[in-house]
């Protein structure tokens, strides 16, 4: 009887591990936290309006919003095209009523995906940027340090940006 219960416990444990595994297997299918730019966002998002106003005519590709400097206000990540096959990313920090645009960093040529992830379990929030250029993929982890968009770690970014 006792061993029967132990077997049941073991099966439950294995089952829950399988479930966890199934959940983590789902992760790569996530479409990311970024959104495709559309002009309507300019009406509803002041930070985006600020960016577009500073860079008239620049093609904005993707954006994502989260509080990146831990002040309780959402900031804006923008990925934009600066030339043929050349993209960049910057952050617009929300200092309402003002905004601050950070330094720019190279961004992948296509399939850019942003994922917010609290990697070191303390604020501010980190995020992962990944993407590709043809068959070459790359990713990098970023965090706001003071007002600087800082590349903490990455792989293959030089080949996909
Ligand atoms: Ca903020």
Same domain, 63 and 15: no
Q: How far is the CA of 6 from the centre of ligand 1 (A)?
A: 50
Domain containing 8 equals 1-30
**In a shared domain, residues 90 and 130:** yes
Instruction: Identify the pLDDT of residue 154.
Output: 96
* Span from the CA of 134 to the centroid of ligand 1 (angstroms): 34
Q: How far does the centroid of ligand 1 lie from the alpha carbon of residue 126, in Å?
A: 12
Same structural domain, 48 and 126:
yes
Q: Judge if the upstream peptide bond of residue 97 is cis by omega within 30 degrees of 0.
A: yes
pLDDT band at 103 (very low <50, low <70, confident <90, very high): very high
Distance from the alpha carbon of residue 135 to the mean position of ligand 1, in angstroms? 35
pLDDT of residue 18: 57
Cα of 149 to ligand 1 centre, how many Å? 13
106 alpha carbon – ligand 1 mean position (Å)? 22
Do 105 and 133 fall within a single domain? yes
Q: What's the pTM value of the predicted model, to 2 decimals? A: 0.81
DSSP 52-101: HHHSTTPEEEEEEEE-SSSSSS-EEEEEEEEETTEEEEEEEEEETTEEEE
- Could you tell me if 26 and 53 lie in one domain? no
Residue 46 has pLDDT above 80, yes or no: yes
Does residue 13 sit in the same domain as residue 54?
no
- pLDDT, tens digit, for every residue of 117-145? 999 999 999 999 999 999 999 999 999 99
Q: Are 48 and 69 found together in one domain?
A: yes
- Burial profile 28-59: b = 16 or more Cβ within 10 angstroms, e = fewer: eeeebbbeebeeebeeebebbebbbeeeeeee
Distance 27 CA to ligand 1 centre (A): 26
Asked whether residue 42 falls in the same domain as residue 20, the answer is no
Res. 63 pLDDT band, cuts 50 70 90 = very high
List CB-based neighbours of ion ligand 1 within 5 Å: 67, 69, 71, 73, 75
The domain tally of the chain equals: 2
Q: According to the model, what pLDDT value does residue 120 have?
A: 92
Q: Which of 26-30, 85-89, 99-103 has the lowest mean pLDDT?
A: 26-30
> Do 26 and 61 fall into the same domain?
no
Tell me: pLDDT of 95 over 80. Answer: yes
Q: 129 and 152: one domain?
A: yes
User: Does residue 156 share a domain with residue 112?
Assistant: yes
Q: Are residues 82 and 26 in the same domain?
A: no
Looking at residue 30, what is its pLDDT? 64
Residue 26 pLDDT > 80: no
CB 77 within 8 A of CB 91: yes
Which three-class secondary structure state does DSSP give residue 158?
helix
């Amino acid at each position: 009887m006792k061993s029967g219960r132990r077997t049941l416990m073991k099966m439950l444990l294995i089952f829950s591990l399988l479930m966890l595994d199934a959940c983590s297997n789902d992760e790569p299918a996530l479409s990311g936290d970024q959104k495709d730019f559309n002009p309507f966002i300019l009406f509803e998002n002041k930070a985006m309006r600020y960016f577009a106003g500073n860079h008239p005519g620049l093609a904005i590709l993707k954006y994502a919003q989260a509080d990146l400097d831990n002040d309780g206000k959402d900031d804006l990540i923008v990925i934009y095209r600066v030339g043929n096959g050349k993209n960049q990313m910057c952050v617009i920090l929300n200092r309402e009523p003002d905004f601050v645009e950070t330094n720019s960093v190279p961004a992948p040529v296509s399939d850019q995906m942003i994922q917010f992830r609290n990697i070191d379990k303390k604020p501010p929030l980190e995020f992962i940027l990944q993407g590709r250029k043809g068959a070459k993929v790359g990713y990098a982890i970023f965090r706001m340090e003071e007002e600087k968009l800082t590349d903490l770690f990455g792989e293959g970014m030089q080949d996909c940006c």
